[in-house]
A and B are shown apart, each in its own frame.
Chain A
Amino acid sequence: MTEMPEIQLPEDKPLEIAGRIYQSRLLVGTGKYRDLMETGQAIEKSGAEIVTVAVRRTNLGQNPDEPNLLDVISPDKYTILPNTAGCYTAKDAVRTCKLARELLDGRDLVKLEVLGEHKTLYPNMPETLVAAEELIKDGFKVMVYCSDDPLLAMRLEEMGCIAIMPLGAPIGSGLGIQNRYNIRLIVENAKVPVLVDAGVGTASDAAIAMEMGCDGVLMNTAIAQAKNPIKMANAMRLAIEAGREAYLAGRMPKKLYASASSPLDGTFF
């Protein structure tokens, strides 16, 4: 009797962030939509449960009847994840998070991103580390946008960040995951959720992230700037689910040459 090799399949752990279990592994942003109605419809279609927002000055003299983003994306229905987009220093990022916490009645979940320069919006990791430390000390639950450096990812986890979110490619570029090897290493080492944040362009990019074992994907432009954002939101929902299932199923090994799918015996010619 031959012994069957034990099949090692990945464990299907639910996505847990700050003590809450989420069914959807797709996190979406709310920027760059044509209007608030489209924002609401696309987010509904995406099935996302965690939604990012930015914090900005109220326009002086704005129309008071204009609906507010949080009237459309209600904090009662969605987990609102305020970001620190546009911050280039740790100080500005910490200030933004404190304002966000006040805005959201003391909710302390934040997406920390400190940018390095305008052209690539690449994360400024020295400032990100400083901000993360200060925010964690102040009781924030920090999901951190970061470079795809496996050692820095480990450092952020050790500091107490609750999710590691390396970029797949520059924000808004839609280039897809540029360094799969690094993302793989980060996933392999991490004990907290790893989400690809930024760089996804279309559904296959999201599926690739999930097939590699990422716990989720955060995207904005890929949906908002699609010709039909609502349709793309649905495509992304399906891609995330398909990628996750494929990861859990365990893909076949890649081979250099063909291997016939139909039996070679019993042919009648």
Chain B
Amino acid sequence: MQVQINGEAMELPAGATVAALVEKMDLSGKRLAVEVNQDIVPRSQHFEFALNDGDRVEVVHAIGGG
């Protein structure tokens, strides 16, 4: 299936979880927040939350700002 990650298309196996996506992005263990189709997916649900084809996912972190 194909999902949009931070505005870019990515192929993931069907039923991949948010945790699997985070791992694929080499971001496991990092402080980040995930939103799927504009809804927050709490960290506690990353291992259960399965993505669907066409999902729009945002993975964000804190950077310098004023």
Where the two chains meet, the residues of A that have a C-beta atom closer than 8 Å to any C-beta of B are 29-33, 39, 52-58, 60, 62, 64, 68-70, 80, 82-83, 85, 95, 98-100, 102-103, 171-172, 198, 218-221
Q: Report whether B31 and A30 are in contact in the complex, using a CB–CB cutoff of 8 Å.
A: no
Number of cross-chain contacts by CB at 8 Å: 101
Contact with A along B23-66 (1 / 0, CB 8 A): 00111001111110010101100000000000000111111111
Q: Report whether A100 and B64 are in contact in the complex, using a CB–CB cutoff of 8 Å.
A: no
With both beta carbons as reference points, the residue of chain B lying nearest to A113 in the complex is identified as: B66
Residues on A with beta carbons closer than 8 Å to the beta carbon of B25: 58, 60
B5 within 8 A of partner (CB): yes
Where the two chains meet, the residues of B that have a C-beta atom closer than 8 Å to any C-beta of A are 5-8, 25-27, 30-35, 38, 40, 42-43, 58-66
Contact of B64 among A54, A57, A95, A98 (CB under 8 A): A54
- In the complex, A220 Cα to B63 Cα: how many Å? 13
Residues on A with beta carbons closer than 8 Å to the beta carbon of B43: 102
A-B contact pairs, 17 of them (CB 8 A): A29-B66, A31-B65, A55-B62, A58-B6, A68-B30, A69-B64, A70-B31, A83-B65, A85-B65, A99-B33, A99-B40, A100-B62, A102-B33, A102-B34, A103-B31, A103-B33, A103-B60
**Known: A60-B6, A60-B8, A60-B25. Contact between A85 and B35, CB under 8 A?**
no
- In the complex, A95 Cα to B42 Cα: how many Å? 14
- In the complex, A62 Cα to B60 Cα: how many Å? 13
Q: Report whether A58 and B27 are in contact in the complex, using a CB–CB cutoff of 8 Å.
A: yes
- In the complex, A114 Cα to B22 Cα: how many Å? 30
Starting from the known contacts A69-B62, A102-B34, A220-B66, 19 additional A-B residue pairs (CB-CB under 8 Å) come to: A29-B65, A29-B66, A30-B63, A30-B65, A52-B65, A53-B64, A54-B62, A54-B63, A55-B63, A57-B59, A58-B30, A58-B61, A68-B31, A69-B61, A70-B31, A70-B61, A102-B43, A103-B60, A103-B62
- In the complex, A56 Cα to B35 Cα: how many Å? 12
Q: Report whether B42 and A102 are in contact in the complex, using a CB–CB cutoff of 8 Å.
A: yes
Q: Report whether B66 and A55 are in contact in the complex, using a CB–CB cutoff of 8 Å.
A: no
- In the complex, A60 Cα to B26 Cα: how many Å? 9
Residues on A with beta carbons closer than 8 Å to the beta carbon of B58: 57, 99
Residues on A with beta carbons closer than 8 Å to the beta carbon of B63: 30, 53-56, 69
Shortest beta-carbon contacts, A-B, top 5: A54-B65, A29-B66, A220-B66, A102-B33, A30-B64
With both beta carbons as reference points, the residue of chain B lying nearest to A83 in the complex is identified as: B65
